[in-house]
Amino acid sequence: MKLFLSIFLSFGLYCAYSQGNIQYEKLDFGKYSVGFTDSLIIQEEINYQYKSYSGGTPILLKIWHPLKKKPNSPVLKFEDFHKSKNLNSNFAEIEADLINKFDAYYENNILRQDYIHFDEISYPLLGSAVLLSYIKKTKSLSHEADLKSNQHFPVLIYHHGSRGSAFDNHVMAEYLASHGYIVIAGNFNLPYENKPYGFTKNDPYDTRLSESVINFAQDLDSTAKIGFIGHSWGGQIGFSLLPNHDKVSAFVSMETTLELWSRKQVKAKWPRLCGNIMNNYSNYNLPILMFANAGEETPLSFDFFQPIQSPQLIFASCKKEFVHESYASYYSSRLIYRQQFTQADALEFKSQVEYYGQHLKLIRTFMDQNLKGYGPTYSNFEDLFYLKIKNKDSFTKDQKPAVVNSPN
């Protein structure tokens, strides 16, 4: 069995180096090359215990950043984003177990799930394990490079979803880094003995871990503007963290999962989170871009979020089906190897990669406007998105919110 797997892996190495990456093909990458490094910070206020470790909660940071000059070093592979360098034995063990848990979850629940009907994909013997090894050996666009201080690039913090990882959106990180942003992704999942991946003993809406990452970003450059991007649970953390926050200048929520529900339904399903947001409707003093998709060619109402009084509040709903997992680039990585591994949903699934790219471009436009002062060009996105743009000035008894390209 080991010899059989070894033969597959050897062939996989060849394919990984020769295969074109569909996720990169249509993105308009910027003028900078992309550097990658990692770091570790400890949140001392939140205790964490795992095997022989007991102490503050470790946050394993993955950092993509602009390089003005392309290095001579080879590009990194996807797996190089997983494992940190220079960790002591306790933290190295924690990270290794975390990666194993993520790999098992990803192989069993993501790689094997058909996009169209959510049926199980039938791979040949050891197929999903071999496919995962291919994906991890795929070339990225990043080069190993230390992050220099005082580069004066704006910083974007990425918070993954409940079963995501710090590296699950590396295409987004590389894309934004190529356009002059430092992107810092923290790992907010950790392993617990005899518990499934994604389990946490902490309050799920405790914002102290995210605040520690923001403080780390400020230490890099106290003058840099900071943006926050959250997917799913990460978006929920953003809405819990950012009321009256004076360090973050712009926020992107990549579908919190509350967008389809009325205020009454949100209160019944998520009472704690509902209170976090409702009690702060008038306290979000930063521009917010919200994504959500109903899976139909109709705009969403974003009913629960309508009362938010942000300086700029943008509701963006894709006119085509865009599933919740598609906000993270690792979800569609199997398509890179659609020729080696038959995937009956490949043709339809390719649309998710295309729409994902348009989401990234809209995020960049929003961040360029609010962190770099560029003029917005949101009309460019009207073919794919329903857009509703609201401002604080719109919230009067006699004036309706400003609406752009939204029929609802």
Residues of the chain with pLDDT > 90, as a percent, come to 81
What average pLDDT does this structure show over 242-259? 97
Please give the residue that has the higher pLDDT: either 5 or 358. Answer: 358
Each residue of 189-233: pLDDT tens digit? 999 999 999 998 889 999 999 999 999 999 998 889 999 999 999
As a whole number, the mean pLDDT across the chain is 90
Task: pLDDT band for 5, please (50, 70, 90 cuts).
Answer: very low
Residues 65-91, mean pLDDT to the nearest whole number: 95
Beta strands in 211-369 (DSSP E): 226-231, 248-254, 288-292, 313-318
Spatial contact of 106 and 328, defined as CB atoms under 8 Å apart: no
How open is the CA angle 380-174-113, to the nearest 5 degrees? 85
Of 3.40.50.300, 3.40.50.1820, 2.40.128.20, 3.30.2350.10, the CATH number of 2-394 is 3.40.50.1820
**CA 319 – CA 293 distance, rounded (Å):** 8
CA dihedral sign, ordered 284, 286, 287, 288: negative
Rounded mean pLDDT of 114-137?
Answer: 90
pLDDT digit string, tens, across residues 355-389 = 999 999 999 999 999 999 998 789 999 999 999 99
Give residue 393's pLDDT: 64
- Whether the pLDDT of residue 403 is over 50: the answer is no
- pLDDT band at residue 19, thresholds of 50, 70 and 90? low
Give the tokens for residue 94: 């924690």
Residue 33: pLDDT band with limits 50, 70, 90 = very high
Q: Are the CB atoms for 388 and 406 separated by under 8 Å?
A: yes
Q: Give the model's pLDDT for residue 74.
A: 95
The domain ranges of the chain are: 2-394
Task: Check whether 57 has a pLDDT greater than 80.
Answer: yes
Section 44-66 average pLDDT:
97
pLDDT at 83 over 90: yes
